[in-house]
Amino acid sequence: MTHRETGYAQIILTMVFLIGYFVVLSDFIHGRVKVDPTWRDTLQTLLSVLTAGVLLILQYWFSRHRQSEEPK
């Protein structure tokens, strides 16, 4: 795979994850999801893990330094 293809794959995966995260978060915030009290702690943990994933993705994109072997 070339650097360009790898970059496009990373961007697509990032967008899929972030869009899915914000859709799920929006559903919870707007009350479209009814949670059984026995599952409440489990779903809170799941949202915490997903939020940590978002922070890891942001950290990756903001700290990344591209090194290209292609001439400028």
Q: Is the pTM of this model over 0.85?
A: no
pLDDT in tens, 12-43: 999 999 999 999 999 999 999 988 999 999 99
What six digits make up the tokens of 14? 């990032």
> In Å, how far are 17, 41, 56, 58 from 8, measured between CA atoms?
14, 36, 18, 16
27 three-state secondary structure: helix
With 90 as the cut, is the pLDDT of residue 3 above it?
no
Element (H, E) at 42: helix 40-63
* Average pLDDT, rounded, for the chain: 89
